[in-house]
Structure 1
Amino acid sequence: MDGTAGRVRIVDVEVLSDDWYVLKKTTFDYRRADGSWQRQSRETYDRGNGATLLLYDPRRRTVVLTRQFRLPAFVNGHHGMLIEAPAGLLEAASPKERIRAEVEEETGYRVHEVRKVFEAFMSPGSVTEKLHFFVAEYDALAKVGTGGGLADEGEDIEVLELPVDQALAMIERGEIVDGKTIMLLQYARLNLLHA
């Protein structure tokens, strides 16, 4: 916690909702750069940390993504069908364990060698989640199922295999608007799938 020791004093924490995940209102005192203290109040949404992974085939220059309905995007004026890299919440698993399981559930591909490339807070102004980003190579032999997610979790996922250049063009056209997916595709463009 570089730079915050002695600068934050929690005054009160109120749980506003604990239905799906936890929404809290925290009142705290924050010492500003000029030394004065300011009382602030913020709501935070705690859904736990997560992991995401981009499957890529360097020989064929393809990636595997998913398409599924996302209610928050829908209520914000989008049609709701987002194209994304597979992802999931860690729950009690390690990031590597969880992402391997999520990739198989969502895409039908079993991956063994996954490489962590970075971590990021995706919406740190209100959401506590830290996301672990991974990449892994795949080929036809890694396909062990149909994917599609878990119906009992409300998942209805379409699996997409796309040329990486097409996926990158879909970002430019506004067809891929999911932040984690854009980050992973840009990482692949810079580090994995050079032209």
Structure 2
Amino acid sequence: MSESDLEIIEREICYQGFYRLERLRLRHRLFAGGMSAPIVREVIEKGDVAAVLLYDPQRDELVMIEQFRIGARDDPRGPWLLEIVAGLIEPGETPEQVARREAFEEAGCTVGEVIPISTFYTSPAKTSQRTHLFLGRVDSSAAGGIHGLADEGEDIRVVRLAAEEAIGLAEQGQTDSTWPLVALLWFARQHQTVRQRWLTVNQGETVTATEGVATP
């Protein structure tokens, strides 16, 4: 794709708050050749996100969180969703730094080694936001309680689950938020490989955390 494949004719900021809503009038290259007629698209912008699934290989537990989500307000099961730690990437931060910071703020966990899982568009039909997804090693023995930043209106409950139980929730359709679903389905395939690697490292052998671990 080159600059000539997309032409932004007009850009308008319709709303600026926690998110920014833009309306774009544009033309783009067609598969059959030539350019499309002008079309209008609206996009919601906020910035990229880092998300991390927290795993304790010693106890074979995952640390997840539960919190209120306005988008699920009409869900028959209620708007409190089982999710993973995540946060917006601020200027000057790397995705891994955000994953570590948010793990402490939202779950009270200090992350050791991390494994990159994937980077993907969150919902490209309506936003340019990309999610940087990780697996992070933690000690889950003291994980629990209520966390979050009061000035951001966060009310986050920490949930500890046996690894196989959490995988089962994803496979049975009980996890209906994108980030935990992607993370858990990846983890289901890599569970034993990751556990063995991290347990081996814990025993003092010099094995890299990502050796033998597949990423999409």
So what's the TM-score if we normalise by structure 2? 0.81
Distance 1:181 1:187, change over 3 A: same
Q: How far did 1:87 drift?
A: 0.2
Q: What is the letter of the counterpart of residue 65 of structure 2?
A: T
Partners of 1:77 and 1:4 lie apart in 2 by 46
1:124 aligns with 2:124: yes
* Preserved CA contact (<8 Å) 2:63 2:143: no
Q: What's the counterpart of residue 138 of structure 1? A: 138
SS state at 1:35 partner: coil
- Of 177-186 and 54-63, more deviation after overlay is shown by 54-63
1:7 aligns with 2:5: yes
1:177 aligns with 2:143: no
Q: What's the counterpart of residue 31 of structure 1? A: 29
Q: How far did 1:113 drift?
A: 2.4
Partners of 1:46 and 1:112 lie apart in 2 by 31
Q: What is the letter of the counterpart of residue 53 of structure 1?
A: V
Q: What's the counterpart of residue 47 of structure 1? A: 46
* Preserved CA contact (<8 Å) 1:61 1:193: no
Q: How many pairs align? A: 192
- Gaps in structure 1 of 5+ consecutive residues: none
Distance 1:102 1:147, change over 3 A: farther
Q: How far did 1:144 drift?
A: 8.4
1:189 aligns with 2:158: no
Q: How far did 1:79 drift?
A: 1.2
So what's the TM-score if we normalise by structure 1? 0.90
* Preserved CA contact (<8 Å) 2:170 2:184: no
Q: What's the counterpart of residue 98 of structure 1? A: 98
Partners of 2:138 and 2:192 lie apart in 1 by 13
What does the per-residue CA deviation read over 1:122-178, in whole Å, with 9 as the maximum and x for residues that have no partner? 21000111000111111247x589561111110000000101111122224433111
Q: How far did 1:182 drift?
A: 0.8
Partners of 2:128 and 2:121 lie apart in 1 by 8
- Of 23-32 and 114-123, more deviation after overlay is shown by 114-123
Partners of 1:145 and 1:177 lie apart in 2 by 22
Q: How far did 1:112 drift?
A: 3.5
- Gaps in structure 2 of 5+ consecutive residues: 196-216
Q: What's the counterpart of residue 211 of structure 2? A: none
Partners of 1:6 and 1:71 lie apart in 2 by 39
Distance 1:124 1:76, change over 3 A: farther
Q: What's the counterpart of residue 161 of structure 1? A: 160
Q: How far did 1:36 drift?
A: 2.6
